[in-house]
Amino acid sequence: MDQKIQDQFTRVENALNTLLDSITSYNPSPAAAIDLVGADDELSEGLSQLAAHQANYAHICQLRTESQRLDDQTKHTMSILANLRKELLATPATVFPGSQYEVNYNDLLSYAKRISRFTVPPTYRPRAPWDRKASAKKAELCESPDQQMPDADSTSPVGGEAVKERGPFLSTGAEQEQLGIGLRDLNESTRDWLDSLAKLPFVPWPKDDDIRSGGLATVQYLVETGKDPTTDPKREEQEAEERRREEEEEDKKRHREMSERKQNYATGANGHRASRQEDAGNAFSLDLYDEDEG
């Protein structure tokens, strides 16, 4: 590029010199002027080309730098990714220690469900700080079973609900108004019935009646009545029933056979003789059966 411009400059210079020489020698040659103009034009062209060239070159440089920048950015991002991945893999996963408890939690929960009936009275609710009066009522309920002895089994989930409603739904007002919305809607008799259910005595062990209705009591009864406690009364009943059923079936069979034979003799060809034979046969057959049953 430079060389080109240089050539053009040189040409211009030469043309100029020729023209000057021709002018100073009083021999103006228009051709030299034309050459000069031409050279000048070419120079302008060259200069514009040079401008374009330089612009292109600048653009190229700019693009180069841009590309380099993007490459660097990519490399940087890749290196960050690689580091993160390394760190991620290097982080040890938390190892949860095996359950320290020997008991499966499912078993524990089902066991808790089973014994919850006998652990607290069904109307029991933990004391709530805002509910002093209701807890005083509960305290009265709990005190009475202490001195009492066992009665019927206490199974009153309904009673529990009554106390539950008494708890949270505290309406402002007099003490009588402390019943919940649900309770207020009930009749007086229903409420009393619920209260009676709630007041059943509770103890956290089997009551006398429970013990008396248990297996040990059954065995004791067997011993006292003289029966052998190693037998199973139910089983004996079943066996006795089966024997009875078998006997009934056998009786039915015999009756059927007898009626069949009677019919056979009755429809015999020799009616008269058949009847006599029938009598004899019947008598004979009856005797046979009688002997068996004897």
Residues contributing to the site for other proteins (CB under 8 A)? 102-103, 107, 111, 114-115, 117-121, 124, 126-127, 135, 138-139, 142, 145-146, 149, 203-208, 211, 214-216, 218-219, 222, 229-235
Smaller CB separation from other proteins, 78 or 120: 120
What is the smallest separation between the CB atom of 141 and other proteins, expressed in angstroms? Answer: 10
Smaller CB separation from other proteins, 44 or 119: 119
CA–CA dist 40, 123 (Å, integer): 117
What is the smallest separation between the CB atom of 101 and other proteins, expressed in angstroms? Answer: 11
What is the smallest separation between the CB atom of 170 and other proteins, expressed in angstroms? Answer: 19
Greatest CA separation for the chain: 190
Smaller CB separation from other proteins, 67 or 220: 220
Smaller CB separation from other proteins, 149 or 181: 149
Decide if 32 contacts 42 (C-beta within 8 A). no
Q: What are phi and psi of 97, to 5 degrees?
A: -65, 145
Q: Which helix (H) or strand (E) holds 258?
A: helix 233-266
Q: Spell out a b/e string for 90-108, using b for 16 or more CB atoms within 10 Å of the CB, else e.
A: eeeeeeeeeeeeeeeeeee
Smaller CB separation from other proteins, 121 or 159: 121
Smaller CB separation from other proteins, 6 or 119: 119
CA–CA dist 135, 164 (Å, integer): 11
Instruction: Give the tokens for residue 55.
Output: 């612009």
Those residues with Cβ within 8 angstroms of residue 18's Cβ, 6 or more apart along the chain or in another chain: 29, 32, 35, 36
What is the smallest separation between the CB atom of 289 and other proteins, expressed in angstroms? Answer: 33
Instruction: Give the tokens for residue 124.
Output: 């029991």
Smaller CB separation from other proteins, 19 or 198: 198
What is the smallest separation between the CB atom of 86 and other proteins, expressed in angstroms? Answer: 48
Kindly state the DSSP code that residue 228 receives in the 8-state scheme.
-
CA angle 266, 270, 271 (to 5 degrees): 45
What is the smallest separation between the CB atom of 172 and other proteins, expressed in angstroms? Answer: 24
Those residues with Cβ within 8 angstroms of residue 227's Cβ, 6 or more apart along the chain or in another chain: 233
What is the smallest separation between the CB atom of 131 and other proteins, expressed in angstroms? Answer: 13
